[in-house]
A and B are shown apart, each in its own frame.
Chain A
């Protein structure tokens, strides 16, 4: 202390109640702004680390399903990108019934964007009327609906039930073309993935379209 007498004597003491020094305001603001920019810039990689990793992105390879053993009225499930994909072989009666309840559906012609490719915008929402392929994830909050193919009244379903799926989570119902019934929590029809049939029609490759793009 004795080396710096001027710092501790009466004259050197600073009044603690001095008003803020306006000449320093610019530098205080600049330092805070630049520090803030640096802070936000540092946050970018942290926020970015939450996005799907390269490994997760690469896991979306197409899968092939053998449908030669699928009987009429039956459904099989295959896993594509971690999601269940359903393949249903509809009966003639089931296909014919699809056009009879359009009035009860929220989006009978699949006009809402994002869930139905152009080639599936038909009454059957499929490439072939007999085979229906869709992602078995409810468009409400992502549960996997359960199949209720038997028609008519049953617990949790209306008495004129045409056959389809019921989501156990929030009660959304879908017909056998994956079209959502009106006034249910789910806003959209079930998503149709890209898929192609093999030349002999016994296999379906899910994840590619006719131009072989995922």
Chain B
């Protein structure tokens, strides 16, 4: 051990000889140089980590009183709410935490979209992040069955049946997922296992990978300038970077304080958030014979749910036409080379034909799933010469605004009962959502871009 160079002494020195504690602290905190021009939007990464900790801790305590059994599950949640000392507080922290997780993560993703944080060399940071988002959706879905209320039951019934739309293997697959011919005790037990063990393990692994990948390439910033390529001081540190600790660790405490004010206000004054965070129908025990008159998923799933509902057999004509148009454009004007020039348009034509061969039900599931999966490809869809929205043409900002409004409208529609007018609106919204991403390789390189500065823009304050 004598050959190992350790500067620390005493107990810390003893540990450092055996475990790289100080080394890791330096690498990820005190000598991790983050751009100095972070703004408001950079709070949401650390806030997501905070919510993860809240969910894990409150979850552990809920499991101590919850019973994953179709006969007792609903009762045990009410028992937690009414009879376990402080149980209501722990449960409301967990249920509010679930919604706030999505608030924070959606804003975190939007930040990435604004500043091109998914662009080279941060593709893997983004991909791990989308993986985390998928895990979160899984956690939210599996967790929502556990209270065994009406919405739990029928929500799970609908989502599991999504898989039955897959041609050939679908019905068998959804039977396999449920473990019974209907959502039942077997389903509840396995969802419990997924919610408390399987997905959290994957989720935490992905969070670690997300942070390691981020610290390997360094943080992006609102200007989309690489500080590692900028000037360095005499110690080799980027002059536009500041140590994460103490500067951003302290900075993030401000964000945490602000977040906790909102979080506590919701828990104490409106834990149901008008039926958006906790749906009223879920205060009724699950009844396998009766679907509630109006069923809608929790708000964070509603944009995708609208896309599912929007895909009727009429709408597949529109989607088929879109696929054909894309095939023609790619063949005539695309920048694909070699075999891809024929293969990609060919696949699109095949998709257009299958649109009318397979059930609209299947394509509804595809557009809903595709709306999430497409995010994985964002690093390769964006061809703009600049990363940050600050240096894009102004009409790009308009497109982003349309996209955000579209996403909000899709979300609102998903909470509403079906009507012909809303279906058409949902279909328009779905086209806008998909076109935003699928046409990005084209629109993202058009227009006059502003010159990107050599260094980050920063005013000392």
Contact = CB atoms under 8 A, between A and B. Distances in A.
Contacts of B164: 141-142
Contacts of A45: none
Interface in B173-190: 175-182, 184, 186, 190
Interface string B286-318: 001111111100000000000011011110000
Contacts of B186: 52-53, 56
A183 B313 contact: yes
A187 B359 CA distance: 7
Contacts of A83: 181-182, 288
B291 A60 contact: no
A190 interface: no
Given A84-B289, A185-B361, A50 B423 contact: no
Contact of B312 (A56, A144, A145, A183): A183
B177 A50 contact: yes
Interface in A76-93: 77, 79, 81-84
A77 B289 contact: yes
A79 B361 contact: no
Interface string A47-84: 00011110010001000000000000000010101111
**Listed residue (B294, B313, B314) with the most chain A CB atoms within 10 angstroms of its CB:** B313
Contacts of A79: 288-289
A169 B179 contact: no
B190 A50 contact: yes
Most chain A CB atoms below 10 A, which of B176, B186, B292, B418: B418
B154 interface: yes
Given A56-B181, A81-B182, A156-B418, A143 B291 contact: yes
A167 B175 CA distance: 22
A185 B289 contact: no
Contacts of A127: none
B159 to A, nearest CB: 8
State which size class the interface on B falls in. 35 or more
B188 to A, nearest CB: 13
Secondary structure type dominating chain A contacts: loop
Contacts of A145: 291
Contacts of A60: 181
Interface string A156-174: 1000000000011111000
A77 B160 CA distance: 24
B250 interface: no
A52 to B, nearest CB: 5
B459 to A, nearest CB: 52
Contacts of B417: 156, 168, 171
Given A142-B158, A185-B312, A187-B361, A81 B291 contact: no
A107 to B, nearest CB: 12
B426 to A, nearest CB: 11
Given A50-B179, A53-B186, A187-B359, A84 B288 contact: yes
Nearest to B158: A141
B154 A169 contact: yes
A146 interface: yes
B295 A168 contact: yes
A170 B309 contact: yes
B361 A168 contact: no
Contacts of A171: 309, 417-419, 423
Most buried by A among B164, B182, B190, B364: B182
Given A141-B162, A184-B312, A146 B293 contact: yes
Contacts of B294: 168
Q: Which of B162, B361, B423 has the most CB of A within 10 A?
A: B361
Interface string B378-421: 00000000000000000000000000000000000000011100
Given A56-B179, A56-B180, A168 B157 contact: no
B7 to A, nearest CB: 29
B444 interface: no
18 contacts: A50-B176, A50-B177, A50-B190, A52-B179, A52-B180, A52-B186, A81-B182, A82-B181, A82-B182, A83-B181, A84-B288, A136-B289, A141-B157, A142-B157, A168-B291, A171-B423, A184-B312, A185-B311
Given A52-B179, A82-B182, A146-B291, 12 more contacts: A52-B181, A56-B179, A77-B289, A83-B182, A140-B361, A141-B158, A141-B164, A143-B295, A144-B289, A156-B419, A183-B312, A185-B361
Interface of B: 154, 157-162, 164-165, 175-182, 184, 186, 190, 288-295, 308-309, 311-314, 359-361, 364, 417-419, 423
Closest 9 interchain pairs by CB?
A171-B418, A82-B182, A142-B161, A144-B291, A141-B161, A84-B289, A141-B158, A143-B291, A187-B359
